[in-house]
Amino acid sequence: MSGHSKWSTIKRKKALTDNRRASVWTKLIREITVAAKAGGGDPGSNARLRKAIDDGRAGNMPNENIERAIKKGTGELEGASYEEFSYEGYGPGGTAILLEGSTDNANRTVAEVRHAFSRNHGNLGTSNSVAWMFERKGQIVIAAAAIPEDKAMEDALDAGASDFSADGDLYVVSTETNTFHAVIDGLKAKGYRPESSDIVMAPKNLVKPEPADARKVLQLIEVLEELDDVAKVFTNLDVDAVDLEEAGA
């Protein structure tokens, strides 16, 4: 799980500072629209929408874009009709890969995903071929900075976290999905400002392939993440065992 948190943080920082900002905004807008469609346009009663709006603001998205996306989701404005999906597959070295997103054309999306796997040493799997290797959790990453580990752990558990770990210069706070927002609010009330926070599919066990295979897995993940319809990619690759600089991360 720590490996996934580190990779997610690296990818998030890159995504918001490189030339793919427009693509990032497209995915954030789509998530806001899908969240509003699923649970209504009030972030006060729709936790998923609240999270999507927070992500949009963290990505410097203008408020008018956010409001327009919400109205498309609630039907107040016309827009494409998106359906959510999840696909599972295998990467090099015996790694498992799980991806989630939304699409207005399922046939196009599955073709693009299958092509990405086949061109990057992987294979698209069937339903539940690897999903059983993961569990859905809330994950909050905060900078260690000058905060002692004992205090950060005490504050996290006091806020309702289910687990806590130190990962280099980061602290990773795990939660159950139904307490995710409450834990974030509790940490913020104590003065913490999360580096990132998300509902993730956390691997139950990590796989450490040979370095050459590990680099191929990272390449496959990057290709999948660049697909417009894909919102999140999860893997059980032990990222801590990979030289991220050498891998181009």
* 23 domain residue, yes or no: yes
The total number of structural domains in the chain stands at 1
* 54 domain residue, yes or no: yes
Secondary structure (3-state) at 166: strand
Give me the pLDDT at residue 99, please. 96
* 42 domain residue, yes or no: yes
* 162 domain residue, yes or no: no
CATH code: domain of residue 18: 1.10.10.200
* 131 domain residue, yes or no: no
Secondary structure (3-state) at 155: helix
Secondary structure (3-state) at 66: helix
* 243 domain residue, yes or no: no
* 49 domain residue, yes or no: yes
Give me the pLDDT at residue 80, please. 80
Instruction: Give 10-residue mean pLDDT values along the chain (249 residues).
Output: 49 46 80 94 93 90 95 90 94 95 95 97 95 95 91 96 91 94 94 91 92 92 93 89 55
Whole-angstrom Cα distance, residue 79 to residue 42?
19
| 90 contacts 97 by C-beta, under 8 angstroms | yes
DSSP assignment of 172-184 = EEEE-GGGHHHHH
Residue 167, H or E segment: strand 163-167
* 189 domain residue, yes or no: no
Domain assignment of residue 60, given as a range:
2-74
On whether the pTM is more than 0.85, the answer is no
Give me the pLDDT at residue 4, please. 53
Give me the pLDDT at residue 10, please. 46
